[in-house]
Chains A and B, each alone.
Chain A
Amino acid sequence: MWFILVCFILGMFAAYFFPIEMPFVYSKYMAVVILAFADSFFGAFKSGLEGKFSGWQAITGFFGNSIVAAGLTYTGDLLGIDLYIAAVILFGIRIFNNITSIRHLLFIPPSSKYE
């Protein structure tokens, strides 16, 4: 658990010290990809807690989700529809669901502890 948190903070520090600037044009894509990343992250985290973790699934989901999300955004740009909203909503809901499950798995209510 602590390892994941440390990795997250390390990643943030790395970006902080790397002077990487995204062009504004890709800002929208980046946002959707980040959401896809977050979705896969929480999904993998949940399955890890449940003991059903599959490394292959986590990695394919990680890249697959982001590619699909970016592709959706691009298609939306081509068609003139804000199609990325679909990805945002879907990922948003899934992240919420996963976080709820993680919460249930991590913080077992005291009443059930003694069952």
Chain B
Amino acid sequence: MIGENKAHRIQEKVIHSIQPPKRWELILGIIAFILGFFIVVQYRTQKDLFHLIPTRQAEEMAGLLKEAENKRLDLERELFVSRQKVMDLQSKLEQEKSKNVSIGEESKKIELLAGVTPVKGPGVIVTVKDAKNGQEGNASLVHDEDLLRIVNELRAGGAEAIGINDQRLVAISEIRCAGPVVLVNGVRLAPPFVIKGIGSSEILYNSLTMSGGIVDYLKLLGIRVSVEKSNSLYIPAFSANIQINYATLLNKGE
């Protein structure tokens, strides 16, 4: 009996709780709707904001910053020590060099080939200009390919150092067309191009001017080329910064 009574009461309660909303509940419902809507919109905004500026982690980040700063200082100190080590080693190397002349000569050869020092010596000067006005046409202009062919010929003739308009050509130098100019070592060069090659002036001159050779060919196109022998040429060093990121040295035989 008592259980039945209880069940009845619960049933009544349920019916009571799902009766249609009163007027004040209707108005409150509208307010609740707007409230819920705004809360979610604000939550969305704030969530993005937290992504941008994690305010709560500001202290933590400050700590990290300090740590990084300390690390930087440590590294700087390390760098200083390492630099001194390098300097020591360099001075040692210098001593070794003076001890062993052949090593010094080797490094001189390497330096010369690498183009890190200015050089002088006998050789040829090739001056290349566009064709005279009136002879319009693409072929009458000096192209990167023409310069490449001259340089190639000089190298075939045994040139030890080559420079185009005072840009030293080294192993990583490029000669390429860039609109109206030619890029060499990343520097824009415009005609007239003055190509200097240090080597045997006789051999270089002959290899350039042999009949059917590069000079003949260019003259055929109307390009003005002149080749001069010289006893004393000066070619400056390769001035750009060399960055080697990918290649690593291997010992001989590896």
User: B24 contacts which chain A residues (CB < 8 A)?
Assistant: 44, 47-48, 53, 55, 58
- Of B22, B45, B49, most A-chain CB atoms within 10 Å: B45
User: Would you call B240 an interface residue if the criterion is a C-beta within 8 Å of the partner chain's C-beta atoms?
Assistant: no
User: Would you call A81 an interface residue if the criterion is a C-beta within 8 Å of the partner chain's C-beta atoms?
Assistant: no
Closest A residue to B21 by beta carbon equals A3
Indicate which residue in B34, B46, B49 contacts A37 across the interface (CB closer than 8 Å): B34
Binding site for A on B (CB under 8 A): 17-18, 21-42, 44-46, 48-49, 52
User: A37 contacts which chain B residues (CB < 8 A)?
Assistant: 31, 34-35, 38
- Complex CA gap A40/B44 in Å reads 23
What is the interface of chain A mostly: helix, strand, loop, or mixed?
A: helix
Indicate which residue in B36, B45, B46, B48 contacts A12 across the interface (CB closer than 8 Å): B36
Q: Which of A14-22, A69-77, A83-91, A107-115 contacts B (4 or more CB under 8 A)?
A: A14-22
Rounded to whole Å, the gap between the CB of B71 and the closest CB of chain A is: 33
Are A11's CB and B17's CB within 8 A?
Answer: no
User: A41 contacts which chain B residues (CB < 8 A)?
Assistant: 28, 31-32, 35
Q: Which 7 pairs from chain A and chain B are nearest by CB?
A: A11-B36, A15-B40, A7-B29, A11-B33, A3-B21, A53-B24, A8-B32
- Complex CA gap A34/B27 in Å reads 17
Rounded to whole Å, the gap between the CB of B26 and the closest CB of chain A is: 7
Rounded to whole Å, the gap between the CB of B48 and the closest CB of chain A is: 8
Indicate which residue in A2, A30, A44, A47 contacts B42 across the interface (CB closer than 8 Å): A30
User: A6 contacts which chain B residues (CB < 8 A)?
Assistant: 29
- Complex CA gap A4/B22 in Å reads 11
User: A7 contacts which chain B residues (CB < 8 A)?
Assistant: 28-30, 32-33, 36
- Complex CA gap A12/B38 in Å reads 8
User: A40 contacts which chain B residues (CB < 8 A)?
Assistant: 31
Closest B residue to A52 by beta carbon equals B24
What is the interface of chain B mostly: helix, strand, loop, or mixed?
A: helix
User: B21 contacts which chain A residues (CB < 8 A)?
Assistant: 3-4
Rounded to whole Å, the gap between the CB of A97 and the closest CB of chain B is: 18
Known: A11-B33, A15-B37, A34-B35. A27 touches B28 (CB 8 A): no
Are B36's CB and A1's CB within 8 A?
Answer: no
Are B45's CB and A27's CB within 8 A?
Answer: yes
User: Would you call A68 an interface residue if the criterion is a C-beta within 8 Å of the partner chain's C-beta atoms?
Assistant: no
Rounded to whole Å, the gap between the CB of A63 and the closest CB of chain B is: 10
Rounded to whole Å, the gap between the CB of B222 and the closest CB of chain A is: 66
Rounded to whole Å, the gap between the CB of A51 and the closest CB of chain B is: 9
User: Would you call A31 an interface residue if the criterion is a C-beta within 8 Å of the partner chain's C-beta atoms?
Assistant: yes
30 A-B pairs whose Cβ atoms sit less than 8 Å apart in the complex? A1-B17, A2-B18, A4-B29, A8-B32, A8-B35, A10-B33, A10-B36, A11-B34, A11-B40, A12-B36, A12-B37, A12-B39, A12-B40, A15-B37, A15-B40, A16-B40, A24-B52, A27-B42, A27-B46, A38-B35, A40-B31, A41-B35, A44-B24, A44-B27, A48-B24, A48-B28, A53-B24, A58-B24, A58-B28, A58-B31
- Complex CA gap A21/B44 in Å reads 7
Closest B residue to A16 by beta carbon equals B40
Known: A21-B44, A21-B45, A27-B45. A4 touches B39 (CB 8 A): no
- Complex CA gap A41/B36 in Å reads 11
User: A45 contacts which chain B residues (CB < 8 A)?
Assistant: 28
Are B32's CB and A14's CB within 8 A?
Answer: no
- Complex CA gap A76/B28 in Å reads 31
Are B41's CB and A44's CB within 8 A?
Answer: no
User: B44 contacts which chain A residues (CB < 8 A)?
Assistant: 15, 20-22
